[in-house]
Structure 1
Amino acid sequence: MSEPSPKPRVLITGSAGFIGFHLTRELLSRGHQVHGFDGMTDYYEVSLKERRNAMLLQDPGYSFTQGMLEDADLVMQVAREFQPQVIIHLAAQAGVRYSLENPRAYIDSNVVGTFNVMEAARELAVDHLMMASTSSVYGANEEMPFRETDKVDTQLTIYAATKKANEMMGHTYAHLWNLPTTMFRFFTVYGPWGRPDMALFKFVKAILNEQPLDIYNNGEMYRDFTYVTDLVKGIADLMAAIPERPADRIVPEGDSLSPVAPWRVVNIGNSDKVKLLDFVDAIEEATGKTAIRNYMEMQKGDVEATWADATLLQTLTGYRPETNVRDGIAQFVAWYRDYYRV
């Protein structure tokens, strides 16, 4: 019997971030060698990133470089030395609301940084380039659930605009250099080790500290909350779903595959929209405390609802996220209480 082929080596940008940390753990558990690249920026508490990275470094299959995506020479050097077969690009300046305050950070990281990653992938001719996008690219679209084949031309923030730019940059490189590329659109990811700027983290902190929490659009908001371990399983499973340029330019119905490039975009969401007030109710249940609710108007750049059609993910991988939001919130609250000793 022949020896099984080795697992592809994976370079992950943003490995010390919320999603990158969970994805790295998932891939290490599957036997991959992973090299992480992260700027360890102070957008939120660096100690949380350091703790995540320290946990990853306990695994001999993980190595790490600290650096900024804007440093083209360093990105290329790391890629040449590690020689990955797959690059998963998660690092970005995140946060919809922060993009209203500091839009230049999004151009530097999300556009220039992504270009540097794509250049490394092109030079190494990797088997699969995988890059994170966001449900925010659907912008002002009203027809739901959102499908990958929907037109997405009405972004409402510079964050969303940079992610749409990443999708188009990825398509161009896939076409020009025959570089197999998968973009994935995330839908409101939550779970243990999450980002402190995200709603769940802020709501739990406020409730436990008996402080008011801001609820925008008077609670008339809906989100497709996706538990982080479901999300990273979807990404890991998509590694093997390498897009191929269709020889006849014919694309199967429902597939977002480009007719002129080995490029595809895939939603990764829970396929269930949850009302924000029900989300708060679930946090109250998990914490055993009542929220002090501060109802506010819709914030600039926000959207009333997101809701993913994840049929394509299931078609490509046989997998579909399924964690119930109340179960996921309970697991986050348990982690939060343990981490912060509250």
Structure 2
Amino acid sequence: MKQMSHLDDIPSTPGKFKPYFHRTRWQSSVAKLAFWSLVFVGLIFIFFYRSPVSSNPDPSRRSLRTYSWGGPAWEKRVRSSARVRTRRGFSVLVTGAAGFVGTHVSAALKRRGDGVLGLDNFNDYYDPSLKRARQALLERSGVFVVEGDINDAALLKKLFEVVPFTHVMHLAAQAGVRYAMENPSSYVHSNIAGFVNLLEVCKSANPQPAIVWASSSSVYGLNTRVPFSEKDRTDQPASLYAATKKAGEEIAHTYNHIYGLSLTGLRFFTVYGPWGRPDMAYFFFTRDILKGKAISIFEGVNHGTVARDFTYIDDIVKGCLGALDTAEKSTGSGGKKRGAAQLRVFNLGNTSPVPVTDLVTILERLLKVKAKRNIMKLPRNGDVQFTHANISSAQRELGYKPTTNLQTGLKKFARWYLGYYNGGKKAAS
């Protein structure tokens, strides 16, 4: 199999304070207002003036000043990539295009004749070389991936000046549940600030694009109703990552209500497949099994099973395209709302949760290597014990119907992995 040949194939609230002398309610309110105003100003000062000179600045903030873009040749590439090839095609800006889902969605859109322009900052949350390989794959398909950050308002405005995008597929995000305990600011930077920045540019665009964006099944958090439905409560996040995705859903509601932006959120359930993310269990299990290293398999309380609603990438892509195809036009113009706009959220899962132990068993058969299993108690790091999607809304509204079971999907992943890596070492180009 040739390498890269295809896609498959923040002080806490003050305690009660009893003053030494009587204060009127008005005086107390003024004092509180003054106090919190000072705290707020102080935080702003620290954030904007001390962060840049930190000894270990957040790469995602530093990146805004390192990208080079613009000029006639650059604009020509942007226009060419975003040019629609069919009569009723879309012109789509895909953020996070060099990511796992972004690459597959971009390629699928291009294949059917839509104009596609990618945007990615190529951060090092995981090996950037994999992202570069995906970029090369897209370049050969005619998709130009602009290197830049969604927090760069000037860049986003320029892109909308060059191309009047009809749609935005917003997949850029800081992913991963556990990493939030190491670098929480990166989640706020990307998943909240970046999303707001993108929406600010979109609401001021004329015409406004329709937006489909990636939320997450993680928003269900400590919810125990099974299967998870879009009607269930999502106000008990179990991780910072989940909290930022839930915040994104509320932010989407706000911009839809005020500016008339058409917004569709997609809650992905454990996406896997070729060109996947190395931080996902199925990916690093494969790597470690092949290397003869022990893998940690978590179990819940009282030896409870940990299970995931694993969803194959091709099924996710179909859901993404279905969301784009059924997205109604935004109703605003130049930042002013003209009427009610579409606001939706859908689960995209496989509806068949599989125990992680079964996942490992399948990988053992496919790789022909026995795994060294290390059973461990599920840590309090944001992981939840199970996920299970109710996809009836997506089936009804998007025509979404997953068709790939875990055995079939993992077989395709393993074939790609063994082709892209050679016994754990990157294969030669």
Fold agreement, TM-score > 0.5: yes
| Structure 1 counterpart of 2:195, from 106, 114, 118 | 114
Alignment correspondent of 1:14:
96
| Structure 2 counterpart of 1:267, from 330, 347, 362 | 347
- Conservation of the 8 A alpha-carbon contact between 1:243 and 1:263: no
Q: Shift of the alpha carbon at 1:169?
A: 0.5
* Per-residue CA distance 1:162-189 (angstroms, 9 max, x = gap): 0001111011111111111100000000
* Per-residue CA distance 1:31-75 (angstroms, 9 max, x = gap): 111000000011111110001001111123x22210112222212
Sequence identity (%): 42
SS at match of 1:216: strand
Say yes or no: does 1:83 pair with 2:168. Answer: no
- Conservation of the 8 A alpha-carbon contact between 1:8 and 1:85: yes
For 2:133 and 2:239, how far apart are their aligned partners in 1? 31
Say yes or no: does 1:23 pair with 2:108. Answer: no
SS at match of 2:254: helix
SS at match of 1:26: helix
Say yes or no: does 1:133 pair with 2:220. Answer: no
Alignment correspondent of 1:51:
133
| Structure 2 counterpart of 1:328, from 401, 405, 409 | 409
Q: Shift of the alpha carbon at 1:159?
A: 0.5
Alignment correspondent of 2:327:
242
SS at match of 1:44: coil
Amino acid in the other structure paired with 1:263: L
- Conservation of the 8 A alpha-carbon contact between 2:151 and 2:198: no
Say yes or no: does 1:228 pair with 2:318. Answer: no
Comparing 112-121 and 135-144, the one that deviates more? 112-121
Alignment correspondent of 2:19:
none
| Structure 1 counterpart of 2:272, from 170, 174, 190 | 190
Q: 1:34 to 1:96 in 2, by over 3 A?
A: same
TM-score, reference length from structure 1: 0.92
Q: 1:236 to 1:112 in 2, by over 3 A?
A: same
- Conservation of the 8 A alpha-carbon contact between 2:210 and 2:329: no
Cα RMSD, aligned residues only: 1.6
For 1:235 and 1:169, how far apart are their aligned partners in 2? 20
| Structure 2 counterpart of 1:65, from 146, 163, 166 | 146
For 1:57 and 1:235, how far apart are their aligned partners in 2? 21
| Structure 2 counterpart of 1:317, from 380, 387, 398 | 398
Amino acid in the other structure paired with 1:309: N
Comparing 65-74 and 21-30, the one that deviates more? 65-74
- Conservation of the 8 A alpha-carbon contact between 1:268 and 1:313: yes
For 1:66 and 1:206, how far apart are their aligned partners in 2? 32
For 2:262 and 2:421, how far apart are their aligned partners in 1? 42
Amino acid in the other structure paired with 2:108: E
For structure 1, list consecutive stretches of 5 or more residues without a partner in the other structure. Answer: 246-259
Say yes or no: does 1:36 pair with 2:121. Answer: no
Amino acid in the other structure paired with 1:238: A
Say yes or no: does 1:160 pair with 2:262. Answer: no
Amino acid in the other structure paired with 2:267: R
Q: 1:309 to 1:244 in 2, by over 3 A?
A: farther
Q: Shift of the alpha carbon at 1:289?
A: 1.1
SS at match of 1:84: coil
| Structure 2 counterpart of 1:204, from 274, 286, 296 | 286
Q: 1:155 to 1:243 in 2, by over 3 A?
A: farther
For structure 2, list consecutive stretches of 5 or more residues without a partner in the other structure. Answer: 1-85, 331-339, 424-429
Look at both structures and tell me which one has the larger radius of gyration over its CA atoms. Answer: 2
**How many residue pairs get matched?**
325
SS at match of 1:142: coil
Which stretches of structure 1, 4 residues or more, deviate above 4 A after TM superposition?
none
| Structure 1 counterpart of 2:253, from 171, 187, 195 | 171
For 1:122 and 1:71, how far apart are their aligned partners in 2? 16
